Amino acid sequence: MQKHSWTDITCDDVLQAIKKFDCEEPDHPEPKSTFLVFAGKKYPAKHIRGMAYKEHYGAEISKSDYNGGAETVRFFNRLGFEVYYNGRSESGANTDDMNKEINARPHSPQSGTSTDTEITVASEEKRSVKVALYLQTESFCNSASFRKMKSIIGRSDCDVLVFPECCYFPSVYSLWKKDVTVESDLKDIYRVCLNLSRELGKAIIVSRENRYGVIYSVFANADAAEGDTEVSLYIKHTMCETSCLSFENYDKTARRLFAPVKYKGFLIGMTICYDCNHALFSRIYGLQQVDLIVNCTGGNVVYDKWFKYNKARAIENNCSVLVTMGGEDYRENNNSYVYGFNKNGGQLKPINLCGDSNRLNVQGGIYVYEVTRDPGLPEPDESNKTETANKYWHMKWPVKGSKEILRSAEKITESIYRLEEKEYNVFILLVDGMDILKPEIVQRLLYSDTIKRYPNRKYIILNRHGAVDTDFFADKLSVILKVRSMENFCAVILESDHLNKCYQCGNNRSAQVVEATAGCFRIDLNRTTGPDAIWKNKEGMAASWRKNYEWLTENAESIAKSVLK
């Protein structure tokens, strides 16, 4: 039977499976350690997962085709459900709203049902990982600062210490001549990093550049428990002298790079600096249901841009995101920061081990974030609320007028339409409903082979909904739509029953909310060049890298599946 992606299965599919289970009470193997907890009852988690698969795809799946245990726990946690696993609760989102939807059904006695007290006690036993982000700017790249940091971190109870991009530690210069593509050199790099982990008494993430301009991050854990990752490598893709996208064997390299780190039952992904500006690199981790993505940045960035990008990465991948920076010193105008977001995009509050524990973004600070599987509270998107009209524009888009636009356009595929506008070929990419939260869908449309033969290409993403919950829009959808315009250098239209918006990327990759004028959004097509604006020869980028990136857009899900196996 054809295998399908588990990430396409929805919360509603699970709810329907629970309803059918309660009504039919089908035969099923008694679970040994993994129970889905819902409305005060325990259900056989793996069996319900299989039923949800059938609800979504209309076909049975053999239990031998998927695993129970930790894999099934991650499946349900991603959708916000609580799972009782090996004697403790692994919590997803708050299930109160879900309970309301199924509240009226009859509650038949179920074998193995736990008491309310048992579930409550288990829920209080939440695992966590304490991650320390070192805001190591240039003034702190010396042996004296390292010794001070070592003393502080040694007294702390943090689990993982994260250095910024191109960081400093005393033995770092021994890595300068090492080539991460040569196996013997990579072993030497791992040895140096494991020695540093052993010296600090912590698992670490360090990031360096070699003499060929390849920038990479290494996770090293000298005290790795059985089943945990000892060493892992990630190589930077964008804004660097040499990208791994230039490697001839990138198809093999990618499967190695995107394998998540395993640490104390958590799955962790690594990215570097500008790679967080491109949704797909983080998304491959998200498709593997990681708990945390860590980004090591060089620093000196625009605060608002990095805030939006990393908030979006947390929301669309349903995981926590942490960022730390290095960079040059700006004593009067600090442009290096730490960021932390929960699964819902709300900010995480750290403790600074240096000086004032409540002060953020102090250079040389060591900021400890406690990461759990609790999704946490969302946070409204307060950015770019002022709508502005475009002074220079080429195209009018009637508010709620997509049907009119599409009727006058040429249908290329079910999701791609072409409109001739002056000398431009404007491609309208249909991304309906919650698919806008799936970067892999958006990217495949932007890079579709069916539109490459046309010159002067411009891109507009049309995200259509029926009703949009106002809280969901304020907390999540608003920032996602802004980021879709920024990361893809295009226009984005939101069309729904009561919310209609237009977003454009600014020339400096900011986000503009376009004001409607006389019932139309006036779109500046000069700022909708899409992939052609990204993959061109300029500082830190090369047009030739696009080939392997396009391969990645087509194979993101298969890479995630192959790594999970």
* 201-221 pLDDT per residue, tens: 999 999 999 989 999 999 999
pLDDT, tens only, 167-213:
999 999 999 899 999 999 999 999 999 999 999 999 999 999 998 99
Which residue, 70, 97, 124, sits at the end of a domain?
A: 124
Pair (139, 119) in one structural domain: no
Element (H, E) at 43: strand 41-44
323 and 467 inside one domain = no
| 114 plus 165 within the same structural domain | no
Is 540 part of a structural domain of the chain?
no
Same domain, yes or no: 117 and 245: no
Q: Whole-structure pTM over 0.85, yes or no?
A: no
Q: Give yes or no for residue 117 having a pLDDT over 80.
A: no
For residues 517 and 557, membership in a common domain is answered with: no
502 and 439 housed in the same domain? yes
In a domain, 541, yes or no: no
pLDDT single digits (tens) 40-70: 788 899 999 999 988 888 888 888 788 888 7
Q: Which residues of 273-296 are buried (b: 16+ CB within 10 A; e: fewer)?
A: bbbbbbbbbbbbbbbbbbbbbbbb
Whether residue 106 lies inside any domain: the answer is yes
Percent of the chain with pLDDT over 90: 71
Q: Is residue 347 part of a domain?
A: yes
Residue that terminates a domain, selected from 124, 147, 180: 124
Count of structural domains within the chain = 3
Which pLDDT does position 330 carry in this prediction? 60
Rounded to 5 degrees, what angle do the CA atoms 173, 177, 182 make?
A: 130
Assess whether 498 and 394 both reside in one domain.
Answer: yes
By residue range, what is the domain housing residue 17? Answer: 6-124
Model pLDDT for residues 266-315, shown as the tens digit of each residue: 999 999 999 999 999 999 999 999 999 999 999 889 999 999 999 999 99
pLDDT at res. 2 = 45
Summarize the confidence of residues 424-435 as an average pLDDT. Answer: 97
| 398 shares its domain with 412 | yes
Q: pLDDT tens digits for 352-361?
A: 999 777 788 9
DSSP secondary structure letters along 341-379 = E-TTSPBPP-EESSS-TT--S-TT-EEEEEEES------
- pLDDT digits over 122-150, tens only? 342 358 999 999 999 999 999 999 999 99
Q: String of b and e for 431-440 (b: at least 16 CB within 10 Å)?
A: beeebbbbbb
Domain annotation covers residue 143: yes
Is the distance from CB of 238 to CB of 280 less than 8 angstroms?
A: no
Return the pLDDT at 411: 97
State the pLDDT at residue 125. Answer: 34
Q: What is the CATH number of the domain that holds 254?
A: 3.60.110.10
Q: Looking at the structure, do residues 373 and 394 belong to the same domain, yes or no?
A: no
